[in-house]
Chains A and B, each alone.
Chain A
Amino acid sequence: DIQMTQSPSSLSASVGDRVTISCRSSQNISRYLNWYQQKSGEAPKLLIYTAKTLQNGVPPRFTGSGSGTEFTLTISSLQPEDFATYYCQQSFSAPLTFGGGTKVGI
């Protein structure tokens, strides 16, 4: 199975901050990497797919980058509604696997 490792597991930030979350895969997954946002008590929401493509309706302050084994999610200017947990997920091969999550808090 492909292991996905996120860092950090949590971070504290303020509104307006630039936030960067990293995700590493245990093998080369090309650009088959997705990012999700999950707020407490809700289902995850797709933000970015194939490493850098923004899902419809997602604000452009969210950007994804990377390929191979190293990926990054960046929030350019953190907004109050962005406080949540973020997960990466590899879509290269089954079994599909997720990172452990990064909780973005105040």
Chain B
Amino acid sequence: QVQLVQSGAEVRKPGASVKVSCRASGYTFSSYYIHWVRQAPGLGLEWMGIINPSGDGSINYAQKFQGRVTMDRDTSTRTVYMELSSLKSEDTAVYYCARDPYCTDDGCSLTFDYWGQGTLVTVSS
């Protein structure tokens, strides 16, 4: 069965960086793009970007996070990573990876059919 398993909770101080991993199993890793979405405590969902786990690893970041977020992948371990730098208290959130069910050369469905369990990142001095 399709599974996205994320790394554990993290605590960071303001100004630091955090790197969250998302390991895929149960499907052909290279065939499905991965999104990152975050959710601040008690609040709604916010899209951060999308990465192609194969080929050139093309990426599209949400403008809000440009310059602070880096997404990467390791095809040998079927793992996608999201690193957020210059952390602020407002970055305290649960970070999710989620799979896009359908992508072609013309684009992706921009839908999320499977989600990781979430990783809580707490930013506090």
Say yes or no for B32: interface residue by CB 8 A criterion.
no
Cβ contact of B96, chosen from A43, A95, A98, cutoff 8 A:
A43
A99 touches B44 (CB 8 A): yes
Say yes or no for B111: interface residue by CB 8 A criterion.
yes
* CB-based nearest B residue for A94: B60
Interface residues on A, range: 20 to 34
In Å, the complex CA distance between A92 and B107 comes to: 11
Known contacts: A97-B47, A101-B44. The answer to whether A91 contacts B109 by CB under 8 A is yes
Say yes or no for A62: interface residue by CB 8 A criterion.
no
Say yes or no for B46: interface residue by CB 8 A criterion.
yes
Cβ contact of B44, chosen from A87, A91, A92, A95, cutoff 8 A:
A87
In Å, the complex CA distance between A46 and B35 comes to: 14
A43 touches B118 (CB 8 A): yes
Helix, strand, loop or mixed for chain A's interface?
Answer: loop
A94 touches B62 (CB 8 A): yes
B113 touches A95 (CB 8 A): no
In Å, the complex CA distance between A89 and B46 comes to: 10
Say yes or no for B57: interface residue by CB 8 A criterion.
no
A97 to chain B, nearest CB (A): 7
B125 to chain A, nearest CB (A): 26
B118 touches A95 (CB 8 A): no
